[in-house]
Structure 1
Amino acid sequence: MATEHTEPGAADEGAPVVRKPTWRYLGPGIVVAATGVGAGDLVSTLLAGSKFGYTLLWAAVLGCLIKIALAEAVGRWHLATGRTLLDGWRSLGPWTTVYFAIYVVTWGFIYGAAAMTSSALPLQALFPGGPDLKYWAIATGLAGLGFVWFNRYAVVEKVMMVLVGLMFVVVVFVAIRVSPHLGDSFAGLLPVLPDGSLLYTLGLVGGVGGTITMAAYGYWINAKGWTDTSWMRMMRFDNRVAYVTTGIFVVAMLIIGAELLHASNVSLTEGGRGLLDLGNILENRFGGFTAKLFLIGFFAASFSSLVGVWHGVSLLFADFVGRIQAVRARTDSAAGSVDAIARGEQERSLPFRGYVLWLTFPPMTLLWLDEPFGLVIAYGVLGAFFMPFLAATLLWLLNTSRTPREWRSGPLSNTVLSVSAVIFLVLCVEQVRELPW
């Protein structure tokens, strides 16, 4: 395998063989991009299109570029240092361990219920005579649990790529079906900020595809078998293809919002139910086939996020627990952790499976009960702080002696990471301000 992708003369004796970028090995980038784009992100993009037409198209493109830079930084850390991101965070001080522990437990509890509900909504719409929504939600959660429990990354990646292909084809088809005005769409590439658009703009730039799952990218490339700098070019190619695909997907959703909702002044419900509103609009305008096709794409987008989180964040949690155990045992597990992920050992570990169970069963209680007020506040605060935390710590890790000099961030990477940190910080402040204190 290595010789097939080797550049002649690229490696001296003792240096890792350089793999050429190839379409055959695409995967981790698609997985992280698909996981980060859920129903809520789709609705926020639709709302931006419905309120401002094509005016904020440039923000969606900028957001795609920022996600490329963030994911590249995560992947570069894993490949250049042979250490996981959690190991890097731990080197910054014990405060990162405390923050992550609180965050990953609280976030997982709330997200589990949200992901199951989001995946259940299109199923209930496709089968209106079927079970109640909460039972569909339980079924999707159990399906995600069983799939991740009994399969390894290679199978997860293949299924995720099928789901991504399905939702991509469906959404692009619907965008073409609504007959976009190409002149208006190209005009939207000029940076303009209409009155009242600042938060929508920041949301498009920083929100779509940006969650804790971006931190999981490094774990997925290790699970793919990419464990050293010989895979650097392949990782960058994989990352760019994935987020360009996501960019096209987001632009297609913006087009749908601009064409179907902006001109007609139609409003959508917040959250995943807004996509059901859009399904009804599509049925009235284009017939039942297009509406059902969109609901299938809606399910693919939601369930791919569920599967991605069940797998990727569980890998993060398994690494987190492993490092705590290593500290208590006064041993250094850093050298073996990346190889353990590549061998699939983390996916069979008790912490991995324990977190998958945590994502599945405790959140089911929220399907019957209103979310506790204090938990909602904690979830909102911690979630708002994660993306600026990620951008800022990547800047720190990739510009110090923790990273080999040749792989430290250059001016372009530092500029984009700094801009993204500022954008995410502003979003963080606004989200905290809007919480129901």
Structure 2
Amino acid sequence: MVAATGVGAGDLVATLIAGSRFGYALLWAAVLGAVLKIALAEGVGRWVLSSGRTIFDGWSSLPGATLMGGRLNWAGVYFGLYVVVWGFVYGAAAMTATALPLAALVPLLDLKTWGILSGLAGLGMVWFGNYRLFETVMTALVGVMFVTVVGLAIIVTPDLPRLLTGMWPTLPPGSVFYTLGLMGGVGGTITMAAYGYWLNAKGWRGPAWIGVMRIDNRIAYGVTGLFVVAMLIVGAELLHAGGIALAGGERGLLDLDRVLRDRFGQLVSVMFLIGFWATSFTSLLGVWQGVSLMFADFTAHLAGRSADEGARGDRSPAFRAYVLWLTLPPMLLLFMDRPFGLIVAYGVLGSLFMPFLAGTLLWLLNSSRVPPEWRSGWVSNLLLGGAAVLFAILAGRELVGLFSG
């Protein structure tokens, strides 16, 4: 669930562009990025299962000035600001990304209408369904993603010897920030923190489940890495070889669709658009469900209720309120240019989340809050520390771009 939610249409475009510009030279960065995401998600899962506490409960236990009778510290203030601003902007972005392939497949409705219908579909599914339904739908959509994305890589016929050379770390001229983005940008942000809530919803509780969680996590991000490699192959073989450039953002996938239609025909084009839709809708649905659980936990802490109540709060008023927040107000952004100040706030808070997650996991997993046998070893600390540094550099780049341009 967490890996499928984290891989969105924008991630696929970023990987395609890296492949179209540098061929297979950055394959090693994609693989390393998957390893870093395994370490981050494993840290979230190990914290929840070994401590019996949610990730927000862990953040609430960090030292620092507190508000509201000690129930909200600096980490809670940051998360509260982040989840409100991020949710508003992300809601519009997710609905637009899901609408793009639908509008291309069925042009009877315009982009805005498909976006609204997509948001309402996600709302209805998490409002009236339960975790079992959510997991079943997500699993089916991951199957569609796998067939279309990996199938597309097979169709374009990768050059395997040249592909293998990409595992040797190199940095072609002008590739530094593409490399960092490839390592850090694919596989989720706040949804990685939602992993612990889905473990609870699945019924995996206590240290006995850590071994199963690790297998689950490695398979999930192994598949994520496979998606990234597949799109890198498409970028290298179809775009790099042909000197074709894509537009930035999710609309770049519509450019790819036109290339596929010209090269392979209508059937491949339609299958690709279905995979594009599945990729976008899994991200939308995962956020509507997972981040709403986190918000329910956040409000449970503010109200002084048990963290466990928040972790299982998919029927709570706070859960439903946040799902509505993700769906209804962002529809206004579909009809107007997004306000500059809101975009700056979204960019600032969003760029800081991954270094925040990596840094706080380092803190929590090396503390007395975790039983000694489940604290981080040197490999986990090395990977989490590397992730913290990488995401801090990416955050700095994002902030410079926001305030200089």
* TM-score normalised to structure 2 length: 0.96
Equivalent residue, structure 2, for 1:72? 42
What are the equivalent positions in structure 2 for 1:209-358 lying under 5 Å apart? 209-326=187-304, 333-334=306-307, 336-337=308-309, 341=311, 345-358=312-325
Equivalent residue, structure 2, for 1:103? 82
Equivalent residue, structure 2, for 1:374? 341
1:89 maps to 2:59: yes
Q: Share of identical aligned residues, percent?
A: 63
Aligned amino acid, residue 100 of structure 2 = L
- How far the C-alpha of 1:210 sits from its partner, in A, is 2.6
1:435 maps to 2:402: yes
Equivalent residue, structure 2, for 1:34? 4
Aligned amino acid, residue 95 of structure 1 = W
C-alpha distance after superposition, 1:92-146 (max 9, x if no partner): 1410011011000000000000000000000001112x11100000000000000
Count of residues paired in the alignment: 395
Structure 1 vs Structure 2 CA RMSD: 0.9
What are the equivalent positions in structure 2 for 1:384-403 lying under 5 Å apart? 384-403=351-370
C-alpha distance after superposition, 1:318-372 (max 9, x if no partner): 000000100xxxx6x24x44xx74xxx4110000000000000000000001101
C-alpha distance after superposition, 1:170-196 (max 9, x if no partner): 111111101110011000000001111
Equivalent residue, structure 1, for 2:152? 174
SS at match of 1:357: helix
Runs of 4+ in 1 over 4 A off after TM superposition: none
- How far the C-alpha of 1:248 sits from its partner, in A, is 0.6
Equivalent residue, structure 2, for 1:23? none
Aligned amino acid, residue 131 of structure 2 = Y
- How far the C-alpha of 1:75 sits from its partner, in A, is 0.2
Q: Is the 8 A contact 1:210 1:387 kept in 2?
A: no
Paired residue for 1:206, among 178, 184, 209? 184
SS at match of 1:191: coil
Distance 1:67 1:348 in 2: 30
Equivalent residue, structure 1, for 2:26? 56
Aligned amino acid, residue 263 of structure 1 = A
C-alpha distance after superposition, 1:376-422 (max 9, x if no partner): 00000000000000000000000011111111000000000000100
C-alpha distance after superposition, 1:228-278 (max 9, x if no partner): 111111100100111101111110000000011111111111111000000
Equivalent residue, structure 2, for 1:383? 350
Equivalent residue, structure 1, for 2:67? none
Equivalent residue, structure 1, for 2:97? 118
Equivalent residue, structure 1, for 2:13? 43
Equivalent residue, structure 2, for 1:137? 115
Equivalent residue, structure 1, for 2:392? 425
1:154 maps to 2:102: no
Q: Is the 8 A contact 2:24 2:236 kept in 1?
A: yes
Q: Is the 8 A contact 1:55 1:187 kept in 2?
A: yes
Q: Is the 8 A contact 2:2 2:188 kept in 1?
A: no
Distance 2:360 2:131 in 1: 27
C-alpha distance after superposition, 1:4-55 (max 9, x if no partner): xxxxxxxxxxxxxxxxxxxxxxxxxxx0000000011010000000000000
Aligned amino acid, residue 320 of structure 2 = R
Q: Is the 8 A contact 2:56 2:297 kept in 1?
A: yes
Distance 1:138 1:188 in 2: 41
Q: Is the 8 A contact 1:86 1:319 kept in 2?
A: yes
Q: Is the 8 A contact 2:30 2:225 kept in 1?
A: yes
Distance 1:186 1:155 in 2: 40
SS at match of 2:24: coil
| Structure 1: gaps (5+ residues) | 1-30
- How far the C-alpha of 1:436 sits from its partner, in A, is 5.2
* TM-score normalised to structure 1 length: 0.89
Aligned amino acid, residue 61 of structure 2 = S
What are the equivalent positions in structure 2 for 1:183-198 lying under 5 Å apart? 183-198=161-176
SS at match of 2:177: helix
Equivalent residue, structure 2, for 1:127? 106
| Structure 2: gaps (5+ residues) | 65-72
Aligned amino acid, residue 356 of structure 2 = F
Distance 1:66 1:153 in 2: 27
